[in-house]
Structure 1
Amino acid sequence: MTIQRMDSVLIVVDDLDAVLSFFVELGMELEGRGPAEGAWVERVIGLEDVRQEIAMLRTPDGHGRIELAMFHQPKAIRPEPKDAPANTLGIRRIMFAVDDIEDAVARLHTHGAELVGDVVRYEDSYRLCYLRGPEGVIVGLAEQLG
């Protein structure tokens, strides 16, 4: 048996509104937002007395999703430095293809995003960069050339 698709990536956040508006500015579309709690959630994630609010976003093509979760109870913990470097173990970034990298960087800058390094050209194929957004979330942007 093989997998059918990747459904979503979960990002746990403290400020759901800030991270949500960051990803909407990037071009993701809000599918829904609301509470996720009760016995079924607790059994799936292995925590007790869970109260959380989630937002589900999808890419414009409908194939990729990001789930944002803000835990009211139990409170979320941060096991690593807030601005962990790119070589820290674990998931470090999510990469998005964009039409205009300069425009995307400028728009995300209004939501607090900062370049991790520089916008660079990879051969004659791509312009690439990493941005650190709200909550320290790192997104990669790739603009295909030619």
Structure 2
Amino acid sequence: MTSLISIVGGAVLDSLANPGRLLVARRTAPPQFAGMWEFPGGKVESGETAEQALHRELFEELGVSVRLGAELEAGSATGWPLNERAAMRVWFAELVDGDPLPLQDHDELRWVGLRNRGEILGLPWIPADLPIVEALLDNVQGSLRPAVPAG
């Protein structure tokens, strides 16, 4: 039996302390996922820790440096199942340097508001990422501060 391919993803937020928006990326390939949204990230290479891989992937794909926060719990040490051969671990992250650009594997990046669950879930996500998106929204909903009415 071959071991699972380890994938890492970044749930890049506008702020780890007070998250309001999530950065999502639209894939260009492979054909079955082109035009679908995902968490930016990629494969852990030999000799890398998962965290090192995530920093490298976010720099390669988006041109940014991030500060990592907590890992989004998957209920399994290997992470969120993507298919029979791969699993993904996802970390909350906050930009510390660079303006995100779709440099590799994506044709569009978009900031989506975390308060609008319908907007986020209404995007055509890669099917394996959808349970991760739902768990992320459940996780951050408790930390979102209510908007202060103008007065």
How high is the TM-score relative to the length of structure 2? 0.36
Comparing both chains, which one has the higher relative contact order based on Cα–Cα distances under 8 Å and sequence gaps of 6 or more?
A: 2
The structure number with the bigger radius of gyration is 1
